[in-house]
Amino acid sequence: MPLGAGALALGVPTANADSGPHDRHALQGTKPQWATPKADRGDTPRADKIAVRVYLAGRDAPGLAAYARSVSDPNSASYGKYLSAKQAKARFGATKEQIAKVGDWLTSSGLKVTGTNGHYISVSGDTAAAEKAFGTRLHNYVKDGKTYHAPSSDATVPAALNGAVLTVVGLNNAPRLAKHDATLPPPSAVYRNSGPFSTYYGSKVNKNLPSAYGTHQPYAIKGYTGKQLRAAYGAKNFTGKDVTVAITDAYASPTIAEDAQRYAKRNGDKSYRKGQLTQVLPDDYTHTGENECGAAGWYGEETLDVEAVHAVAPAADIVYVGAASCQDDDFIDSLNKIVDNRLADIVSNSWGDIEANETPDTAAAYDRIFQMGAVEGIGFYFSSGDNGDNAAKTGTKQVDTPANSPWVTSVGGTSLAVGKGNTYQWETGWGTHKADLSKSGDSWTSMPGAYTGGAGGGTSKLYEQPFYQRGVVPDALSKANGSKPMRVEPDISAVGDPQTGFLVGQTQTFPDGSQQYAEYRIGGTSLSAPVIAGVQALVQQARHGVPVGFANPGIYDRYGTGAYHDVTDHPLGQGRGLGVVRVDYANGFDAKDGLLTSLRSLGGDSSLSATVGYDNVTGVGSPSSDYVTSYRPGKRH
């Protein structure tokens, strides 16, 4: 790539791979936490092959973080003074000299350079060469019943590189596979919802079914549509005109353009104009198998994200940036495409993993992208997860990542009641328990039933509390893991509960083998994230096209104001439980194998609670009718 203006030569001698331990800098976090003495199984064979990425820190990494903060803080004199992609690269990107020196050091260690760009250098070689380059020994460790190699101590790099290396990823080969945060049916098999349905909350009630929580509960929503979501979150007359939203997922649905256009026509959304929906795709895809990333299962994720953004912001441009697989390196490549080419103002990301699987080396690579985006006025929105505190799934309370990063907006989920005439009634935090209808039909078994899912949230063990959460997040949450205040997620929330979810339309495979379009209700924080991204597009239009950028400082700046619905688990009063009746096809398609009737509770998410004020299910709350116009006016610079 051509060198941008303001490039600086390092002015240091070529780094010596044989430098002593006092002439090297440690790359903190490159030894994973699971590489313990108890799990150690000895040296990795020195002839084993290794492939790693060495991420570049660029010029002035501390300055990048400082500028990203000041340009995003409404109380800063630099607020909104964004850089262009070219300016950001010139000021904070890696120089040709840095890239050359890092490459020379790696090759002098015996590693082969397999790829180079402005963000990283990828290399391959044997264990011996990797140990020489990074000043550590690789050992084999047992993790989750399988054996992986990892550094026995943090990797180091020569001090003579003057901080040019941000981190190295790949010295441990444990899988890091992002999962989409919704229980989505694969397009290879059709999925449909059985009725009866409510068309709005409470519109249909069967009083012959057992009562619950003191009254007969309504049937689940058929699936909210754009008109209902726009009304609930205060869209007014804004449409997202002249704003671009990017969506990242793995792979790409082959029928997305046709499905999205058909869905809009059927459900009252504005038709897509020519060029409004575009895709930026990799040259090839990898790890597509069901036991790896399950490529087909991601088609529904893209469909949900695209249709949800368009439903909320029908005039916004949408660019889908597909990753070559569900691995971190491929998602990092997709995110870099957005920032390097300034493809969008707002980026919706409905994927992630548990924090225990996210090592600090990979987190550093993500954070640099988010910081570069912030200085350009790009905001990243991540779903907070669908398993509450994750304890039921993993045995440990933990948050999801990359939503845990202090440089992104973590979006939690709610259960939403939209009433007759598209009026907002209330929301609870999303947390579902399922009680089946008894065989006799006169009671619900074991109420409230088993926990089936809820909005992700909680306290990070990796990131310290960011400045914008101080004075807002209670100490009981920020210090949940010790005396030091840490990052808590989510930051904001929107509808996520599948019982009060969104109607989507997608081409699927029917039992007779035919490919047909079908609609079904879906939820998860995979819905919450694109809904908030769509709302932010409305905000940008209301600001006369000035980007919101990294939104969290502004989100917390308006905490406690009329900009938010303060969501709690008991919107009708303490002790008043809420639920819906859900009827499902036993086979997921038709009634020939029978129907399954259950009561799904609303509110009550694992150990997390939606309370008055900030909470770890819904953050500061959901957008109110005043939210879109509540941001401080933007100025073009």
The pLDDT tens digits of the residues spanning 398-410 come to 999 999 999 999 9
Residues of the chain with pLDDT > 90, as a percent, come to: 87
* CATH 3.30.70 is right for the domain spanning 21-58+94-174: yes
What count of Cα atoms within 13 Å lies in the side-chain half-sphere of residue 386?
22
The pLDDT tens digits of the residues spanning 14-52 come to 333 344 445 899 999 899 989 999 999 999 999 999 999
Bridge partners (DSSP) of residue 349 are 248, 382
Query: CA nearest 408: which of 470, 468, 498?
Result: 468
Say whether pLDDT at 526 is over 80. yes
Q: What is the mean pLDDT of residues 60-65?
A: 95
Predicted local distance difference test score (pLDDT) of residue 144: 87
Predicted local distance difference test score (pLDDT) of residue 404: 98
d(CA 128, CA 147): 19
Tokens of 444: 């619900």
Q: What is the mean pLDDT of residues 91-113?
A: 97
Say whether pLDDT at 298 is over 80. yes
Predicted local distance difference test score (pLDDT) of residue 474: 98
Say whether pLDDT at 387 is over 70. yes
Q: HEC profile for 183-211?
A: CCCCCCCCCCCCCCCECCCCCCECCCCCC
Q: Phi and psi dihedrals of 569, rounded to 5? A: -75, -15
Beta-strand ranges (E) seen in 107-155 are: 112-116, 120-126, 138-143, 146-151
Say whether pLDDT at 169 is over 80. yes
Predicted local distance difference test score (pLDDT) of residue 179: 65
Query: CA nearest 458: which of 482, 427, 486, 433?
Result: 486
The pLDDT tens digits of the residues spanning 354-375 come to 999 888 899 999 999 999 999 9
Residue 104 three-state SS: helix
Pick the CATH number of 180-225+344-623 from 3.30.565.10, 1.10.357.10, 1.10.10.10, 3.40.50.200: 3.40.50.200
Axis-axis angle for helices 360-376, 61-72 (nearest 10): 50
Predicted local distance difference test score (pLDDT) of residue 13: 27
The two domains 21-58+94-174 and 180-225+344-623 share their CATH topology (first three levels equal): no
Residues of the chain with pLDDT > 70, as a percent, come to: 94
Q: What is the mean pLDDT of residues 584-607?
A: 95
CB distance 309 to 316 below 8 Å: yes
Residue 123 three-state SS: strand
Bridge partners (DSSP) of residue 414 are 429, 495
Say whether pLDDT at 187 is over 80. no
Burial of 108 (0-12, 13-18, 19+ CB in 10 A): middle
Length of the chain: 637
Say whether pLDDT at 302 is over 90. yes
Tokens of 345: 């103002």
Tokens of 391: 């304890």
Bridge partners (DSSP) of residue 40 are 141
Predicted local distance difference test score (pLDDT) of residue 12: 27
Predicted local distance difference test score (pLDDT) of residue 367: 97
Predicted local distance difference test score (pLDDT) of residue 532: 98
CB distance 45 to 340 below 8 Å: no
First to last CA, the chain: 27
Q: Where are the domains of the chain?
A: 21-58+94-174, 180-225+344-623
Residue 533 three-state SS: helix
Bridge partners (DSSP) of residue 56 are 165
Q: What is the mean pLDDT of residues 416-430?
A: 98
Among 17-31, 66-80, 84-98, which is the least confidently predicted range? 17-31
CB distance 39 to 142 below 8 Å: yes
Predicted local distance difference test score (pLDDT) of residue 188: 57
The pLDDT tens digits of the residues spanning 225-279 come to 999 999 999 999 999 999 999 999 999 999 999 999 999 999 999 999 999 999 9
- Please give the mean pLDDT across all residues of the chain: 92
* pTM of the complete model beyond 0.85: yes
Among 12-21, 79-88, 446-455, which is the least confidently predicted range? 12-21
Predicted local distance difference test score (pLDDT) of residue 516: 92
Say whether pLDDT at 129 is over 50. yes
Say whether pLDDT at 6 is over 80. no
Tokens of 135: 């000043």
Say whether pLDDT at 7 is over 70. no
Tokens of 605: 């998410």
Look at phi and psi of residue 367 and say left if phi exceeds 0, alpha if psi is from -120 to 50, else beta.
alpha
CB distance 101 to 73 below 8 Å: no
Look at phi and psi of residue 443 and say left if phi exceeds 0, alpha if psi is from -120 to 50, else beta.
beta
More confident residue, 572 or 18: 572
CB distance 398 to 369 below 8 Å: no
Predicted local distance difference test score (pLDDT) of residue 19: 45
